[in-house]
Chains A and B, each alone.
Chain A
């Protein structure tokens, strides 16, 4: 059992998943990428993440809804959650924080500091 942080990232853009994977490799994470909210709901129990990263605008179930549904699964009521989003207007950020997110990281994100930003939220 490693000391890696178990990170679940829900993102429907494959390209961004790839960038995030590059940015976060060798930074002490065990990564699970899900390309939809429903996939995350299926896999979360088995993966048992320490922290959840969510895109906001996704086809099908959007980020906030996914978070709400994840929160209803026993054991994940208070797992730290972060949003990664292009919606960065102050009132939009406030709405996301009100949903129980620890932090909102704006897109485009800085690949060099992404790992640190996530760790800060733990």
Chain B
């Protein structure tokens, strides 16, 4: 009893499990079958459509020949050969294409002699006797002989055959004459083939040339196409619609539905390439689909069928075992479902949050980029523009949609336009940078073709293993224009200042040198001060002019071969007078043999004069300023030593910068423009040299510059 009682819930579970699994099984099988049925019907429909299309192509081909016969004055045998050959070659279903004129008995002899004169000496209208022998045509009112025939080879047997002599063919001729339209015959056996190759003859009427007002259109003959049905069926391929190979061993059978609504078998074809592997016998089934089509006054029926198909496969197991499995499956399924739902819920929430935060950060990034004052363009490693913000639109005059996907060289003038791809390629191959970096000034070209000056900073990032270049662009056209105006102004002012300065200096110089004795000592001192300051003013103008040239990159040099020692001596001599006013003694040591250097004499003298005047200015009175020429293997060094206080610690980093002087009081006391060392550095660097200073152990200040030794090759 106990045992029995215990079994109740188990049996219930088993029954429920069984019930559930059966329902599942049945519904799945049903659904699967329905799906298969649907698929199969589609396949059959497509096959029928395909067949209809193929047949229509053949009809169209014949139609094109009849048109020719209707319009040409006369079509000879060679014309027909030329016409028909390409057509039957293109449509392999044709066994033959024929011209069949309607010939009255009165005309028979004329036609026969005409064909004989074409080279067919035995040509006569003929028919087949009941024994199947070839016999001359019986007397009739009209004949329908095969007169022209292509291809002749293989179809010789049909030439001259009177199609009207055979009942099935005659019925089709009469049908075509009556309906005045293309008519297909019921399946016939061709003279040139046996009954295993059924064919249909398609009679396309040729109308006589007549006035359009004529009430009736009369038929002069036919273009007849002999179509082998088997070849027709070979022209369709169910495989195209059966790509998943769901269906195996498809059979297509063609019937004609005759006037009495009964089926006449035409042909049948299996598609053995699709032959099925052996399936379990208990899952065999058949499917069948019937489609009808109208072909040239005939109704054909296409029956597509198959014997094997796959469907849901259930192993043949004992019911208890199956129930256990189905229950286990059922429970597992439920658990799986629950966990899936939970997971999905979690994932959905998570995704929502992430998407929201991503979207807001993406949006804010987008807004930042769009509202940047600077243009931002990104390109890929091939140079295609990937993004283009609104500031970039403003700078270049293109809209985003016009440039995205285009090559960035669109925005560059020549010669960079044509070289940019090469630069990119070179960078990706060799890492050699042409533009990457901070703040380059380059030229760009706007959509209307105007050149603009831009400052561009390019950086590279890698996204998904792809290099992307980010260019930040600032339009500096206005700034450059102002700068140019400033430089031109400085240039003009400098020239204009020289003219009055010439007069002042000239006048002072003449007074001082020619009429000294007429003046008191005080007047002489004043004149000396005036002259000294006019010299300073001249120097200031020269420095400003040089600075402007430096900025414009136009500080020019005339390089010649020079004697290093001679340059130093000349510089010393030139500064002699200035040194005297500060009571400084100048001396020179040339440690080197007289080395050659390549340089601009005037500019090098300018550097030395600058170093000397600084040394003189900052030396204590009655002290020495010393010039030394020394050399290494490759460089010649000019050093100017003084006994001044030297350069203060805080000032050292700025000493070669523009308008720098140690402090305000020095400026007033010692004079100078604060441009001298800056210009000197530029000149020395142009000579591929360097300029610097140091403190000697003897507490002297040494300013030196060195430039390469010139060695004639």
Contacts and interface: CB of A to CB of B under 8 A. Distances in A.
A90 B600 CA distance: 10
A87 B495 contact: yes
9 contacts: A19-B506, A19-B510, A20-B506, A23-B510, A86-B499, A89-B556, A90-B557, A108-B502, A112-B513
B505 interface: yes
A120 interface: no
Contact of A107 (B502, B514, B545, B602): B502
Given A86-B498, A87-B495, A108-B501, A22 B556 contact: no
Given A90-B556, A90-B557, A111 B495 contact: no
Interface of A: 13, 15-16, 18-20, 22-23, 57, 86-87, 89-91, 107-112
Contact of B506 (A23, A86, A89): A23
Contacts of A91: 556
A76 B510 CA distance: 32
B573 to A, nearest CB: 14
Contact of B507 (A19, A86, A87): A19
Contacts of A111: 505-506, 509-510, 513
Interface in B457-504: 494-495, 498-503
Nearest to A91: B556
B524 interface: no
Given A19-B507, A22-B510, A57-B495, A109 B556 contact: no
Contacts of A19: 502-503, 506-507, 510
Given A16-B499, A90-B556, A90-B558, 12 more contacts: A13-B503, A16-B503, A19-B503, A19-B506, A20-B506, A22-B507, A86-B495, A90-B557, A107-B499, A108-B505, A108-B506, A111-B505
A112 B498 CA distance: 18
Contacts of A22: 506-507, 510, 514
Interface of B: 494-495, 498-503, 505-507, 509-510, 513-514, 538, 545, 549, 556-558, 600, 602
A105 to B, nearest CB: 11
Nearest to A57: B495
Contacts, number: 57
Contact of A15 (B495, B498, B503, B557): B503
Contacts of A86: 494-495, 498-499, 502
B550 to A, nearest CB: 12
B555 to A, nearest CB: 9
A91 B117 CA distance: 101
A16 B494 CA distance: 17
A89 B510 CA distance: 27
A109 B499 contact: no
Contacts of A57: 495
Contacts of B499: 13, 16, 86, 107
A59 to B, nearest CB: 12
**Top-3 shortest CB links A-B:** A19-B506, A86-B498, A108-B502
Interface-central residue, A90, A108, A111, A112, by most chain B CB under 10 Å: A108
Contacts of A15: 500, 503
Contacts of B503: 13, 15-16, 18-19
Given A89-B549, A91-B556, A108 B510 contact: no
Contacts of A109: 502, 506
Contacts of A18: 503
A23 B511 CA distance: 10
Contacts of B602: 90
A111 B494 CA distance: 21
A107 to B, nearest CB: 5
A108 B513 contact: no
Nearest to B603: A90
B247 to A, nearest CB: 90
A108 B549 contact: no
A108 B556 contact: no
Nearest to A109: B502
B553 to A, nearest CB: 13
Nearest to B538: A108
A8 B501 CA distance: 23
Given A86-B495, A89-B556, A16 B502 contact: yes
Nearest to A18: B503
B534 to A, nearest CB: 8
Contacts of B494: 86
A15 B501 CA distance: 10
B676 to A, nearest CB: 18
Contacts of B509: 110-112
B621 to A, nearest CB: 27
A90 B557 CA distance: 7
A15 to B, nearest CB: 4
B216 to A, nearest CB: 102
A108 B504 CA distance: 9
Nearest to B537: A108
Nearest to A12: B499
Interface-central residue, B495, B506, B507, by most chain A CB under 10 Å: B506
Interface-central residue, A23, A86, A87, A110, by most chain B CB under 10 Å: A86
A26 to B, nearest CB: 9
A112 B512 CA distance: 10
A107 B538 CA distance: 10
